[in-house]
Copies of this chain bind each other. A is one copy, B any other.
């Protein structure tokens, strides 16, 4: 354990990409294809980032996502919490939740301090830094990757 969820991973990848695109809105489909991420899953991640005020969305046919705030104000810690919820090192909450073993737990406080330090490590990195350190082709946009990129269209109500 002690790893990021895939959703959080996808969120960071997406934010980095969106930030690298400046004012041009990036659609979920575009992000998914460029990074090999399941579209439907990615969509939910992006929507949650919108709810949390990290991204803003533009609906409609030429819609997509943009950063809601400057890239250097969005920390990795914030993204992790937005997707996975508050960081808890153990099941018996980090604060004052109750668990049967609570009173018998001899390492509550030190663990709490370690948690704070981990959050600190996550908070020390912003999306802006992610963008600067990425190694990513800026906007090449390969239309055909080993065949029809759009071939995987899902069935929609054909003739009715």
Contacts and interface: CB of A to CB of B under 8 A. Distances in A.
B110 A129 contact: yes
A113 to B, nearest CB: 7
A50 interface: no
Interface string A94-136: 0000001101111111110110011011101100011001111
Contact of A6 (B34, B91, B159): B91
A58 interface: no
Interface of A: 1-6, 8-9, 12-13, 16-17, 20, 34-37, 76, 80, 84, 87-91, 100-101, 103-111, 113-114, 117-118, 120-122, 124-125, 129-130, 133-136, 157-160
Given A2-B3, A4-B90, 12 more contacts: A1-B1, A1-B3, A2-B87, A6-B90, A12-B107, A35-B104, A37-B101, A106-B135, A107-B134, A114-B121, A114-B125, A118-B121
